[in-house]
Amino acid sequence: MWEHHELQSTYDVVIVGGGVHGLATAYYLARNHGITNVAVVEKSYIGSGGSGRNTAIVRSNYLTAEGSRFYDRSIKLYERLASDLNFNVMFEQRGHMTLAHNDSSLRTMRWRAEVNKLQGIDSAVISLAEIKKLAPFLDTTERPRYPIVGALWHPPGGIVRHDAVVWGYARAAAALGVHIHQETELVGIDVESDRVVGVQTGRGPVSTSTVINCTAGWASLISAMAGVTLPITTRPLQAAVTEPVKHFLHPVIVSGSLHTYVSQTARGELVFGASVDPFASYSTRGSLEFTTGLASHILELMPAVENMRLLRQWAGLCDMTPDYGPIIGPTGVDGFYVDVGWGTYGFKAGPVAGESVAAMIASGHRAS
Amino acid sequence: MLVIICPNCGPRNDNEFSFQGEIIPRPSVDTDPAIWRRYLYMKSNTSGWQKERWFHVSGCRRFLDIERNNVTNEIRLVAEVGGDPRE
Ligand SMILES: Cc1cc2nc3c(=O)[nH]c(=O)nc-3n(C[C@H](O)[C@H](O)[C@H](O)COP(=O)(O)OP(=O)(O)OC[C@H]3O[C@@H](n4cnc5c(N)ncnc54)[C@H](O)[C@@H]3O)c2cc1C
Ligand SMILES: [Zn+2]
């Protein structure tokens, strides 16, 4: 889909990490700002990090006005991404439903819905009767330990084909002149008098004045190469998928109280996710605790799926910050930028973060 | 799944413990906020062998210092923290 290039001895911008954040930044740098002498260096294959391992949920019904607006911009970009990139990213806006199992979550949901509406975002609290209509396989009786009492309903939310987003951005960026270097590991950043002058890679040195760290779970290691410390701890997040069955679940269903969520792919598999592992790690091994915990929670929500079989489970690395907020911008080292800390929710932000980071770089860019 | 050999309780599954994070020397109480911030939030988050603290919450309720390779999850040293568990 894109050409293989020799590593040039110099680039205007070196982006570290070939996930959705790095590739979207490269694409918008080229498309919106005409900055095309750009390299994306990826130590493995593109999408090998969180961007190829996530559960692909997109939404914008956040609790703050700023958050809602930011993610709404991402949804708008996702809505026309297929035509922008000339690549089918299979964005399906099936609606996103967050279940409430008690009065206090219902209260917060009302608050969220009002904040969202003020930003022009489709978001509302719905009753059990409406939940039953939208997702008849949910157990809406009094049987579960934590019965469902209502939900926050967000029609523009949905799922997108994560690999297609990664490949689409890569292909479109490459067509505009960006070099995408897979199997090219960053091993050092050259800093002179608090200013970036180049990088060292497994394929040789590159001189550059601008480096953007888009490495998510590995963000601390890359920043340390420039002498920058980040408030980040790396934790695995696991997901699992069942065998495919006939389509029966249309919206994305999330239960915060049960630490679980589920959606059905176009191919018919149920995709499940959860919360991060209980301890920090750079290991992407799955655990039995995850699958047993997941199964018990899912059966509380949807007892009808008890005979379905899991096909696979996997883990990806998440860059967790103390306040769960991302870290975007310049650092104490001139020319060294970060777009990290996206933790468990950064796929949906890929387009808007790429667009914003590209604008930030372009506004301060020194022509070479 | 990790099995941690607690010096008090023997081999136990990791879900009996609560992970407290990498060990960073605690500054004195009268130091300035920038140093406290570094202590609380700025992690080296290294990949490989790390010294970290765990709490045996469903066992002896002692704090333990553990050396773990956070890539392979191999554990090579477990020691009880003496005295004030926060040091
Ligand atoms: C199981 C799971 C489920 C998730 N579900 C969702 C979801 O439903 N919705 C959502 O919005 N988000 C979700 N996320 C979070 C989302 O996947 C991430 O926030 C997002 O993909 C981060 O993208 P990125 O481009 O910043 O990083 P990544 O995609 O992780 O890319 C970082 C890249 O950097 C590369 N790299 C590392 N070190 C080096 C080096 N030294 N040199 C060169 N390259 C290097 C890595 O190989 C990797 O490809 C989920 C994550 C996981 C793990
Ligand atoms: Zn013990």
pLDDT tens digits, residue range A251-301?
999 999 999 999 999 999 999 998 899 999 999 999 999 999 999 999 999
Q: Are residues A221 and A198 in the same domain?
A: yes
Asked whether the beta carbons of residue A233 and residue B45 sit closer than 8 angstroms, the reply is yes
Asked whether the beta carbons of residue A282 and residue B47 sit closer than 8 angstroms, the reply is yes
Q: Which helix (H) or strand (E) holds A291?
A: helix A288-301
Sign of CA dihedral A65, A69, A71, A75: positive
User: What is the tally of structural domains in chain A?
Assistant: 2
Whether ligand 1 lies within 6 angstroms of the CB of A217 is answered as: yes
Residue A74 belongs to some domain of the structure: no
The answer to whether residues A206 and A7 touch, using CB atoms and an 8 Å cutoff, is yes
Q: Are residues A240 and A152 in the same domain?
A: yes
- For B16, the closest chain A residue by CA position comes to A278
Antiparallel, parallel or unpaired: β A270-273 and A233-242: antiparallel
pLDDT in tens, A113-139: 999 999 999 999 999 999 999 999 999
Q: Are residues A209 and A327 in the same domain?
A: yes
Q: Are residues A213 and A254 in the same domain?
A: no
Residue A101 belongs to some domain of the structure: yes
Q: Are residues A300 and A171 in the same domain?
A: no
Q: A368 falls in which pLDDT band (50, 70, 90)?
A: very low
Residues with Cβ within 8 Å of A25's Cβ and at least 6 positions away in sequence, in order, are A15, A212, A214, A339, A353, A354, A357, A358, A361
Specify the 3-state DSSP secondary structure of B59: coil
How far apart are the CA of A50 and the centre of ligand 1, in A?
A: 3
Domain that holds residue A115: 93-156+233-320
Residue A347 belongs to some domain of the structure: yes
Residue A362 belongs to some domain of the structure: yes
Nearest alpha-carbon partner for A209 in A193, A198, A224, A225: A198
Q: CA-to-CA distance for B76 and B69, rounded, in angstroms? A: 8
Does the model's pTM come out above 0.90? yes
The CATH number given to whatever domain includes residue A38 is 3.50.50.60
Q: Are residues A209 and A179 in the same domain?
A: yes
Phi then psi dihedrals of residue A60, to 5 deg: -140, 15
Q: Are residues A295 and A249 in the same domain?
A: yes
Q: Are residues A117 and A246 in the same domain?
A: yes
Residue A49 tokens, joined: 């990090």
Residue A298 belongs to some domain of the structure: yes
Q: Cβ contacts (< 8 Å) between A289 and chain B: which residues?
A: 1, 15
Q: A366 falls in which pLDDT band (50, 70, 90)?
A: very low
Q: Are residues A188 and A50 in the same domain?
A: yes
Specify the 3-state DSSP secondary structure of A13: strand
Nearest alpha-carbon partner for A15 in A344, A338, A349: A338
Residue A80 belongs to some domain of the structure: no
Q: Are residues A148 and A217 in the same domain?
A: no
Mutate to test the pocket of ligand 1, among A347, A348, A356 (most ligand atoms within 8 A of CB): A347
Residues with Cβ within 8 Å of B46's Cβ and at least 6 positions away in sequence, in order, are A220, A221, B22, B70
pLDDT in tens, A42-53: 999 999 999 999
Residue A365's pLDDT is what? 60
Q: B84 falls in which pLDDT band (50, 70, 90)?
A: very low
Q: CA-to-CA distance for A75 and A123, rounded, in angstroms? A: 14
Here the ipTM equals: 0.91
The answer to whether residues A78 and A349 touch, using CB atoms and an 8 Å cutoff, is no
Percent of chain A with pLDDT over 90: 96
Beta bridge mates, A125: A152
Q: Are residues A24 and A111 in the same domain?
A: no
Residue A167 belongs to some domain of the structure: yes
Q: Are residues A295 and A338 in the same domain?
A: no
Q: B78 falls in which pLDDT band (50, 70, 90)?
A: confident
